[in-house]
Chains A and B, each alone.
Chain A
Amino acid sequence: MATGQLLNLHRVAPEFHLCITGILVMILDPFVGAARKRWLGWLAFAGTLFALVAVHGAYDSRGMAYDNLISTDVFSVFLHVIVIVAAALAILGSIDYLDKEGIQRGEYYALVLFAAAGMGILAGANELVTAFIGLEMSSISSYVLVGFRKRAAASNEASMKYFLLGSFATAFFLYGIAMVYGATGTTYIDKVQAALQAAPGIPALAIIGLGLMFVGLGFKVVIAPFQVYGPDVYEGAPTPVTTLLASAPKAATFALMLRVFYISYGSASEFWFWAICISAVLTMFIGNLAALVQTNVKRMLAYSSIAHAGYILVAFAASTSLGVAAVLFYLGAYVLMKVGAFLVVTHLGQQGETRLDVADYAGLGMKQPVLSVALSLFLLSLLGLPATAGFLGKFFAFEAALDAHSIHGVAIIWLVVIAAINSVIGAYYYLRVIISMYFAEPSKDYVPTAVAPALSVAILVAAAGTLYLGILPGAVYDFAKVAADSLPLH
C-alpha cells in the first residue's frame, strides 16, 4: 500500500490549511511593517475560509486517515465547522482589538490558527495519544494567547494560572491514557470499545483510566468540580481570546469526551452516568448562582458558559445517539451565541478593557441601538428564549435526556427538571444586562465609538446564525443526527 493512501492526507486537509497559513503568517511577520500587520489578520482569516472549503472536501471523502489515528466522519466534520467558524469569527474580532490595544503582532494569528488545528485534531482523533497531541496543541497556544496583553497584570495572572492548572489537567489525561492502555492493550478508541466488550467485566484499571481522563477533559470544558480556574482566565484574557477560549475548545473537547465515553466506554454507561449527572448538577448550579452576583459582564459570561456546559452534560448523560445529536446541536448554538456576546463585549470594553461592568452598559440601547439589539439577541438566546438558537439547544438536550428515561430511569427526569429550574435562575443575570442597556439612565461620560467593519461582520454572522438555528433548526439538527449516527456506538 502506498504511503499516501495510508495517510490519506486529504482527510486532514483542514488542519493542513490552518497550520500552513499559520506558518505563512509567522514567516511573513518580520517583513511586514507595523502599520500593515493587520493584513496578517486578514491572511489568517483567509486561512480559516480555505480550511472550511477543505472541510467540505474532507466531507466528500470520509474515512480513516493517518493509519486510523484520525477518523474523518460526519461527526468530525460537524465539529470542524464549529471550531473553524469560531476561530474565524474570533480572528475578525481581534484585528481591530489588537490595534486598539497596541499589540498587533503576527504570532497572535498564527497561534489562533495552531490552536484551531489542534482542536480539529481533537475532534477527529480516533486514538488517545493523537487526541493528546491535539489537546496540547490547542492548550499551549491558548496559554500564550491568554497572556497576550503582557503589560496587563490580569492577563499575566490568567495566563500563569491557566498554564499551571492546565498542565496538571493534561497530565491527568495522559495518566488516564496509560491506564487504559494497561487495561486493554490499545489506545485506539474503537479498539478499546472492542476490548472492553470482550472482557467479562469492566477492569478496574479501565475505570480508573476513565476517571483520570474525565478530570483532564472536564478541566478543558470547564465543568464542576474542575471549573474554578475558568472565570479568572476568561476575565483576564484579552476579550477576543476569551471569545475563542469559551467556544471552540469546549466544542472540540466535548467531541473527544463523546468519543471516549460513548464509543470506548459505551458498554459501561452505567459507570459514568452518575458521574456525568452529579457533575452536570454541580456545574449548572455553580455556574448560574455565581453568575447571579457578578458585576463584570465578562466574568458573568464566563460563569454563564460554565452553566451552559452543565446543560450540555444533561444531553451527554442520555448516552444515546439522540444525546450525541443534541450535544452537537447545542455546541453549534452555544458557539454562535457565546462568540456573538463576547464579540460585542470586545467592542464595548474600549481601550484597556476598562468598560466591562454591567453599569457601564447603562443606556446603551439609546446610544448604540443596533449593537444593543445584537447583544440582547445573544443574551436572550443564552437565556433560552424561543426563536433563538439557545432555546432549540436546550429543547433538543432536554428531549434527548427525557428520551433516555427508559435507560436511566427517573434520575434523568430529575436532571432535566433541575436543568429547567437552572435556566430560570439564569434568566435573572442575562436580563440584568438588558435592564442596564435599556432601562437605566445613560451614563454621560461614555462616547460610543463606531464598530469596526470586521467586527460588525463577525457579529452579524453570529446573530444571523443564532436566529437561523432558532427558527429553522431542521437542517442542522438532521445533520447532527447523521453525525451522531456516524459514530460506531455499540
Chain B
Amino acid sequence: MVQQPVLLTVITFLPLLSVVALLLLRSDDHVWIRRIALAASLAEFAVSLLLLRGFDSSNAAYQYTEYHHWIGEAIHYHLGVDGISLFLVLLTTFLTPIAILCSWESIHENVKGFFISLLVIETALIGVFVSLDLFLFFVFWELTLIPMYFMIGMWGHERRIYAAVKFILYTMFGSILMLVAILWLYGLTGTFDLLDIQQSLRSGSLPHLTELLLFGAFFLAFAIKVPLFPLHTWLPDAHTEAPTAGSVILAGVMLKLGTYGILRFCVPLFPDAARQMAPLIGVLAIIGIVYGALVATVQTDLKRLVAYTSVSHLGFVVLGIFAFNSTAVQGAIYQMLNHGVSTGALFLGVGMLYDRRHTHDIKQFGGLATPMPVLMSFFLFIALSSLALPPLNGFIGEFMILIGTYLGHHVWASWAASGAVLSAIYLLWAYQRVAFGEVTVEKNRSLPDASTRERIILVTMALAILFMGVASPLFTRRMEASVDNVIQRVNPPENASRPTTIPCMGAPASVKTAEANAAAAIPAGGGQ
C-alpha cells in the first residue's frame, strides 16, 4: 500500500480552493474567471492522475487512506479509494474541465457564480466517492445538491424552477431516510466508520427485518439518484432544463452516486437483504431498460431523448450489480464510466446544437450533416458509442453485464439484450432525423460548423470513447480485486477454509478504531 497521506485531501479540496481564487476576482472579469476555472480543473485532473501511479491493483483494500478524528469519538475524517471508486474520481475530474470548456460561451449571466457552482459540485462529488465514514459521506452527498440546484435554477431553460425544485425534493426525500438508517446503524454498531461497520456486521448478523429496513432506506436514496424505474420522473425534467454543463455533470457523474452507493453500501453491508431483494430489483431494472428505451424513441425533444437513454443505460448498471458475479459487476462499473463519457458527450453535442439554434426540438433540425459535417460526424461517433457498437466503450460494458447476468439469469439477460437493440433504434433514428435528408429549416443552412473550442471538446471525448473501447483491461484489471471482495460478501464461498479477504486499511489504524469505538460505546450507552 502506498502511503501518500494527503493526496486524496488535495484532490477533494483543490476545486474548493480554486473557488476562493474565483471569489477574489471581479465578477465582470469573465475572461479570467473562465481561464482560472479551466486551469484549476485541468490541474485537478492532472493531480488525480497521480492516483493511478501508486495504485496497487492486486490489493482489494482501500488505498491512500487518511484517518483523523473529527467530531467526538465516533465521527472521523476517513478517506480512501479502491478499485470501485478510483475511476469514478477520475471520471469526475475528467468531465469537469470539459463541462467548463463547453460553458465557455454559452453562459453569459453571473459567470462567476456558475463556475463556482461547478467547482463546488466537483469537490462534493469527489468527496462522496472517497469518503469511508458514513457521516462524511452523507455531508458530501447532500452538498452535491445545492450547487446543482442553483445550476439548474439559475442557468437552466424555460421550466428550470420546476425542474430544480423537483430535483432537490426527490433527492432529499431519499437521502433523509438514509440519514435515519445511518443513525440506526450507528446505534447498532457504535461507529460511523464504514470499515468498522462492515466488520461488526460480519461477525454479528443483523435481525432479518432490521437488515431489510436498513437496506430499504439506503436503497431508496440510491435508487432515486440512479434513477431506477419508477423513481425516475425527476430525471427528464432536470436533464432537459439544466444548462449543458449541468447535464454533463448530472448524467456523467451524479447518477453514478446512486449506483456507486448501491455497490459500496447496500450490497456489502446488507448482503442477505440484497440477495433477497435481487429478483424484484432485477425486474425493475429491466423495466427501466425497456421502458426508458421505448420512451426515448418517441421523444420529440432531443435533450429529453438523451435524458431517457440514461434511464435505460443505468438500468443495465443496476442489473449488472444485482447479478452478483464478478464479470457483471465489473461490467456495471465499467458501464458507469462509459455512460459518463458517452452520455456526457451526447449532451455536449445537443448543447452545441442548442447554442446555434436555441431549441431542442428535433423537427427544427434535419439535414444538419450538410452545413456541419464535422460536428455531425462526431455526433454519430458518440451515438454509436452510446448504442454499444464494438469496439467502442459502450459495447464492453454492456457485453460484460449481459454475459455476467446470463450466467445466473437467462431470462433477465435476454430481456436486457432487447434494450441494446432498442438503443440502436432510438439513437440512429434520432440521428437520422437530425443529420440526414434535406435541410428542412432555412435557418439551418448557414449554421457554422464546430469551432476550435468545440473541436477540442469533441476530439477529447471521441478519444476517450475509443481508448475505453480498446483498452478496457487497463480499467477492469484495477477493479477486479475490489469487486471480488464485494461479491464475496454477498456470495460467501462454499469452501469455508478459503480465507476471505478483508477490506482493511492496515492493522495499526484499524486497531486504533476498534479501541476508539470501545471507548465511544461507553458514554453513548450510558445515558441517564
Residues of A in contact with B (beta carbons under 8 Å apart) = 266, 318-323, 366, 380, 385-387, 391-392, 395, 398-399, 402-405, 413, 416-417, 420-421, 423-424, 427-428, 431, 435, 438-439, 472-474, 477-478, 481, 489-490
Cβ B71 vs Cβ A321 within 8 A: no
28 residue pairs of the A-B complex, CB under 8 angstroms, read: A266-B528, A319-B528, A320-B528, A322-B527, A323-B527, A366-B110, A385-B146, A392-B71, A395-B179, A398-B180, A402-B180, A402-B184, A402-B186, A403-B187, A403-B527, A420-B177, A424-B169, A424-B172, A431-B149, A438-B153, A438-B154, A439-B160, A439-B161, A439-B164, A473-B71, A474-B71, A474-B72, A490-B528
Cβ A421 vs Cβ B176 within 8 A: yes
| Residue picked from A385, A417, A424, most chain B C-beta under 10 Å | A424
Cβ B179 vs Cβ A321 within 8 A: no
Partner of B70, one of A321, A385, A474: A474
Cβ B165 vs Cβ A431 within 8 A: yes
Q: A385-B142, A403-B524, A404-B527 are in contact. Are A424 and B173 (CB under 8 A)?
A: yes
Q: A398-B179, A398-B183, A439-B160 are in contact. Are A387 and B154 (CB under 8 A)?
A: no
| Bound: A266/B528 CA distance, A | 9
Q: Which 3 A-B pairs have CB atoms at the shortest separation, nearest pair first?
A: A320-B527, A386-B139, A420-B176
- 12 additional contacts (CB under 8 A) given A321-B527, A417-B180: A380-B146, A387-B143, A402-B183, A402-B187, A427-B168, A435-B161, A438-B150, A438-B153, A439-B153, A472-B71, A474-B70, A478-B72
Q: A420-B180, A428-B169, A474-B72 are in contact. Are A386 and B142 (CB under 8 A)?
A: yes
| Residue picked from A380, A428, A439, A474, most chain B C-beta under 10 Å | A439
B 156-192 to A, binary, CB cutoff 8 A, 1 in contact else 0? 0000110011001100110011011001101100000
| Bound: A321/B179 CA distance, A | 22
Specify which chain B residues have a CB less than 8 angstroms from the CB of A478 in the assembled complex: 72
| Bound: A319/B527 CA distance, A | 9
Partner of A417, one of B145, B146, B150, B177: B177
| Bound: A187/B193 CA distance, A | 47
Q: A386-B138, A424-B172 are in contact. Are A399 and B154 (CB under 8 A)?
A: no
Where chain A touches its partner, the secondary structure class is helix
Specify which chain A residues have a CB less than 8 angstroms from the CB of B161 in the assembled complex: 435, 439
Cβ A431 vs Cβ B168 within 8 A: yes
Where chain B touches its partner, the secondary structure class is helix
Specify which chain A residues have a CB less than 8 angstroms from the CB of B145 in the assembled complex: 385
Residues of B in contact with A (beta carbons under 8 Å apart) = 70-72, 110, 135, 138-143, 145-146, 149-150, 153-154, 160-161, 164-165, 168-169, 172-173, 176-177, 179-180, 183-184, 186-187, 523-524, 527-528
Shortest Cβ distance from residue B121 to the other chain A in the assembled complex, whole angstroms:
14
| Bound: A476/B145 CA distance, A | 27
* Minimal Cβ-Cβ distance residue in B for A380: B146
Shortest Cβ distance from residue B507 to the other chain A in the assembled complex, whole angstroms:
27
Q: A399-B186, A402-B184, A474-B70 are in contact. Are A428 and B165 (CB under 8 A)?
A: yes
* Minimal Cβ-Cβ distance residue in B for A478: B72
Specify which chain B residues have a CB less than 8 angstroms from the CB of A402 in the assembled complex: 180, 183-184, 186-187
* Minimal Cβ-Cβ distance residue in B for A366: B110
| Bound: A386/B172 CA distance, A | 12
| Bound: A404/B180 CA distance, A | 14
* Minimal Cβ-Cβ distance residue in B for A262: B528
Q: A439-B160, A473-B71, A478-B72 are in contact. Are A321 and B528 (CB under 8 A)?
A: yes
Specify which chain B residues have a CB less than 8 angstroms from the CB of A318 in the assembled complex: 527
| Bound: A439/B160 CA distance, A | 9
Cβ A420 vs Cβ B179 within 8 A: yes
* Minimal Cβ-Cβ distance residue in A for B188: A402
| Bound: A385/B165 CA distance, A | 15
Specify which chain A residues have a CB less than 8 angstroms from the CB of B71 in the assembled complex: 392, 472-474, 477
Specify which chain B residues have a CB less than 8 angstroms from the CB of A323 in the assembled complex: 527
| Bound: A486/B143 CA distance, A | 36
Specify which chain A residues have a CB less than 8 angstroms from the CB of B146 in the assembled complex: 380, 385
Partner of B176, one of A320, A387, A424, A435: A424
Cβ A386 vs Cβ B173 within 8 A: no
Shortest Cβ distance from residue B12 to the other chain A in the assembled complex, whole angstroms:
14
Cβ A387 vs Cβ B168 within 8 A: no
Specify which chain A residues have a CB less than 8 angstroms from the CB of B139 in the assembled complex: 386-387, 391
Specify which chain B residues have a CB less than 8 angstroms from the CB of A490 in the assembled complex: 528
* Minimal Cβ-Cβ distance residue in B for A383: B172
| Bound: A424/B145 CA distance, A | 13
Specify which chain A residues have a CB less than 8 angstroms from the CB of B176 in the assembled complex: 420-421, 423-424
Shortest Cβ distance from residue B241 to the other chain A in the assembled complex, whole angstroms:
12
| Residue picked from B139, B164, B168, B177, most chain A C-beta under 10 Å | B139
| Bound: A262/B309 CA distance, A | 57
| Bound: A439/B524 CA distance, A | 44
| Bound: A266/B527 CA distance, A | 13
Specify which chain B residues have a CB less than 8 angstroms from the CB of A321 in the assembled complex: 527-528
Cβ B153 vs Cβ A477 within 8 A: no
* Minimal Cβ-Cβ distance residue in A for B177: A420
| Bound: A319/B135 CA distance, A | 24
Shortest Cβ distance from residue B212 to the other chain A in the assembled complex, whole angstroms:
14
Specify which chain B residues have a CB less than 8 angstroms from the CB of A438 in the assembled complex: 150, 153-154
| Residue picked from A266, A322, A385, A431, most chain B C-beta under 10 Å | A431
| Bound: A424/B184 CA distance, A | 19
| Bound: A413/B142 CA distance, A | 22
| Bound: A413/B188 CA distance, A | 13
| Bound: A473/B176 CA distance, A | 20
Specify which chain A residues have a CB less than 8 angstroms from the CB of B186 in the assembled complex: 399, 402
| Bound: A372/B153 CA distance, A | 16
| Bound: A399/B75 CA distance, A | 13
* Minimal Cβ-Cβ distance residue in A for B109: A366
| Bound: A398/B71 CA distance, A | 16
Specify which chain A residues have a CB less than 8 angstroms from the CB of B528 in the assembled complex: 266, 319-321, 489-490
Shortest Cβ distance from residue B169 to the other chain A in the assembled complex, whole angstroms:
6
| Bound: A320/B173 CA distance, A | 28
| Bound: A420/B161 CA distance, A | 24
| Bound: A473/B135 CA distance, A | 13
Shortest Cβ distance from residue B143 to the other chain A in the assembled complex, whole angstroms:
6
Shortest Cβ distance from residue B463 to the other chain A in the assembled complex, whole angstroms:
37
Q: A320-B527, A385-B142 are in contact. Are A416 and B165 (CB under 8 A)?
A: no
Cβ A427 vs Cβ B172 within 8 A: yes
Shortest Cβ distance from residue B58 to the other chain A in the assembled complex, whole angstroms:
36
| Residue picked from B71, B143, B153, B187, most chain A C-beta under 10 Å | B71
Cβ B165 vs Cβ A435 within 8 A: yes
| Bound: A439/B161 CA distance, A | 7
Specify which chain B residues have a CB less than 8 angstroms from the CB of A392 in the assembled complex: 71
Shortest Cβ distance from residue B171 to the other chain A in the assembled complex, whole angstroms:
10
| Bound: A395/B145 CA distance, A | 18
Q: A385-B142, A398-B180, A421-B176 are in contact. Are A427 and B169 (CB under 8 A)?
A: yes
* Minimal Cβ-Cβ distance residue in A for B527: A320
